[in-house]
Structure 1
Amino acid sequence: MLLLPLPLAAEDLPPASVEAQVDRTEITIGDPIHYRLEIEYANGVEVKKPAWNEGLESFQILDFERGEPTKTGERWRVVDDYTLSTFTPEDYVIPPIRVPVQLPSGATEVLETQPIEIKVKSILPEDESALELRDIKPPISVFSGILTGRVIGAAFAALAIAGLLYALWRRRHRGETPIALVPPRPEHEVALARIAALRAALAELDYAPDQGECKVYGIELSAILREYLELRFSILALEATTDEIREMLPTLFLPPPPLARDPERRGCEARILVILEETDLLKFAKRTLPLERLHHLLELAEAVIDATRREEAVGSESTEEREREVA
């Protein structure tokens, strides 16, 4: 007689559990890894999910799908799926992911996943001394004989004709008033103009934007703020990650934060991080936001730019006035 194990009853299961798993633990550089974080909990249990990229800082997140809680019987289940990769061959460890939970009794616990070891191999052999370099091939003769002389003659003729045309052009335009160059627009004017265009695009929407529209918005607003920071403070913000910009901000002498508990009102540094973190979720995590929140992020960006713009000399003219004078 074959005895099959009976499934555990709901009352025999723990109040909450968390599990992390990957589809493989050994890859070659550039290969994708499918990583899954699964949380299961009973009715009445409150779960605080970790940050969307927690423990994955050493990998490139190629794709991310945040799952919504689904109910089966008396228990809830939520699954987040990731596609990861890296181009650095070494041994990695995805550390334990901590998930705080609060039980119906009010007691709190912290669940942890098991660490996951991943080996990333190079495409080169381990013994690189066995590699041999081949000699380069000899140059290929393209032209020879009479053909070479014709090509050289044609080249000199073309140069002579170009020189003659340039001399005629200089004689015809001699004595004309040179064109005055307009100084480039200050970076804060460019950024504010792009924000105004983005706000106008939002104003045309009479419905909640979908994931694709929110992604385009996140890409544009992130680029506006990063380009402004790069030009204003001479930092490499366009290619930097949000965490790298977080480390740069204390060195930029931003205006000090006022006394307030709201993180969005604690000065420019906090506003910048709020914008970058939320636009990262729109760009990489397929997240959506209501129109009110999208407009609020534009207001935060304008506040940052207005507080950190370069001090202009008293009585200086705006770019538009200079352009009108030149015209």
Structure 2
Amino acid sequence: MPQPSHILIPVLAVALIGCKPEEPKVFPQDRLTVEYSIDREAICVGDPVELIVTAYFPTNGTLKIPEIGKEKNVVLLKRDWANVPREDGLTQSESRYSITSFRLGEHVVSTNLISCRVGDQTFATNFPQVVLNVESSLPEDASSQIADIKPMQKLPGRVPPWLWISALVAVTAFLVGWITSKLWKHREHLIPSAPAIPPHVLAFRALEMLKGKGLLEKNECNPFYTELSIILRNYLEGRFSLNATDETTEEIVEEMSKSPELDGTQRNILQDFMRQTDIVKFAKGHPDRATMESAFSTTKQFVEETKLTDITIKPNT
């Protein structure tokens, strides 16, 4: 029987090796580097697949990633995008795709180029060689032969048309009489519906509730910026008819940059706030309290300056 010390030494060695911190990857500073990961390549028809494409490029570069999707061969279900600052002077861009396919066989996701322009130079590399192998969801022993036609069945006796018409008239008369009776009985209790609450009023109420939670005083920046971002996205959705709660920061900024209702200062305020929120959420940034208070005041100012002024609402009773 082995002694306890003989067992303990290998266990401690494995534990120490496993606790060794992973060395950070080093990427070239003057070129474009692309990595990818995919949760699986063999799927059944319609199964979603998560593909992550990560690009590393100089901070002064402009990245261009091609669109993917080829009718039923490769279908793009959803795409999320975020830029993550790095300490080595590079920018890390992470694109998350949810894709699928509705045709059997092997399908290449994309053959286009990913490019990055830095000044007068352009760096390009092929889109990752990702191939979806779409298999049938039918069992292997399923027969491919067409089954024989079933024998004809006798139809039940036909109901005379006048009987159907009589039944329909009777039911209609009963429903009309019943609804009329209910409406007449409760005619004095009918109350008109309250007008819809304007988006800026909802935003101001939400901001007051957020202020009362004490997240600023506790210096809890992550939940603070998360709730502040949700308030602003809900306001943009109600005020400018955007699908802001499901769009990425890049998509929101691009749509609002075309809005004639915003001036240049307001567009910059919106863009700076959305970028700062992404840094806190994805890069684990930790701004100080003064920055958090400034973000709160800026959001309130943006709502105040862009609200519709011809809408009034009655006070709560």
Shorter-chain TM-score bucket reads 0.5 to 0.7
Offset, 1:231:
2.3
In the other structure, the counterpart of 2:103 is none
SS state at 1:95 partner: strand
Kindly indicate whether the alpha-carbon contact (under 8 Å) linking 2:79 and 2:96 is maintained by their aligned counterparts in 1. Answer: yes
Offset, 1:34:
6.2
Kindly indicate whether the alpha-carbon contact (under 8 Å) linking 1:32 and 1:83 is maintained by their aligned counterparts in 2. Answer: no
Letter matched to residue 202 of structure 2: V
Pairwise CA RMSD of aligned residues? 5.5
Written as runs of structure 1 = structure 2, the 5 A alignment for 1:1-327 is 20-22=34-36, 27-28=41-42, 30-32=48-50, 48=59, 84-87=96-99, 90-91=109-110, 95=114, 115=126, 117-121=128-132, 123=134, 173=186, 176-201=188-213, 203-209=214-220, 211=222, 213=223, 217-218=225-226, 220-257=227-264, 267-312=265-310, 318-321=312-315, 323-324=316-317
SS state at 1:123 partner: strand
Offset, 1:189:
0.9
Aligned CA distance change for structure 1 residues 210 and 61 (closer, same or farther; 3 Å): farther
Letter matched to residue 187 of structure 1: P
Kindly indicate whether the alpha-carbon contact (under 8 Å) linking 2:59 and 2:91 is maintained by their aligned counterparts in 1. Answer: no
In the other structure, the counterpart of 1:158 is none
Kindly indicate whether the alpha-carbon contact (under 8 Å) linking 1:209 and 1:290 is maintained by their aligned counterparts in 2. Answer: no
Looking at structure 2, the residues matched to 196 and 133 of structure 1 have their Cα atoms a distance apart, in angstroms, of 68
Looking at structure 1, the residues matched to 131 and 239 of structure 2 have their Cα atoms a distance apart, in angstroms, of 40
Aligned CA distance change for structure 1 residues 222 and 132 (closer, same or farther; 3 Å): farther
Per-residue Cα deviation, 1:44-100 (whole angstroms, up to 9, x for no partner): xxx84879xx5667586789896975xxxxxx7999796844405622557356789
Aligned CA distance change for structure 1 residues 113 and 236 (closer, same or farther; 3 Å): closer
Looking at structure 1, the residues matched to 146 and 134 of structure 2 have their Cα atoms a distance apart, in angstroms, of 19
SS state at 1:310 partner: coil
In the other structure, the counterpart of 1:72 is none
Letter matched to residue 293 of structure 2: H
Question: How many residues of Structure 1 are paired with residues of Structure 2 in the alignment?
Answer: 250
Looking at structure 2, the residues matched to 190 and 49 of structure 1 have their Cα atoms a distance apart, in angstroms, of 39
Per-residue Cα deviation, 1:131-189 (whole angstroms, up to 9, x for no partner): 97988xx9xxxxxxxxxxxxxxxxxxxxxxx9999898667645x35324332221111
Aligned CA distance change for structure 1 residues 221 and 179 (closer, same or farther; 3 Å): same
Question: Structure 1 stretches of 5 or more lacking a match?
Answer: 1-13, 40-46, 70-75, 101-109, 126-130, 139-161, 258-266
Identity %: 18
Q: TM-score, normalised by structure 2?
A: 0.53
SS state at 2:129 partner: strand
Per-residue Cα deviation, 1:253-274 (whole angstroms, up to 9, x for no partner): 22433xxxxxxxxx11111222
Looking at structure 2, the residues matched to 251 and 228 of structure 1 have their Cα atoms a distance apart, in angstroms, of 17
Per-residue Cα deviation, 1:235-285 (whole angstroms, up to 9, x for no partner): 33333333333332244222433xxxxxxxxx1111122222333344444
Q: TM-score, normalised by structure 1?
A: 0.52
Letter matched to residue 212 of structure 2: A
Looking at structure 1, the residues matched to 280 and 235 of structure 2 have their Cα atoms a distance apart, in angstroms, of 20
SS state at 1:319 partner: coil
Offset, 1:111:
11
Offset, 1:297:
1.9
Question: Structure 2 stretches of 5 or more lacking a match?
Answer: 1-26, 69-77, 101-106, 137-142, 151-174
In the other structure, the counterpart of 2:5 is none
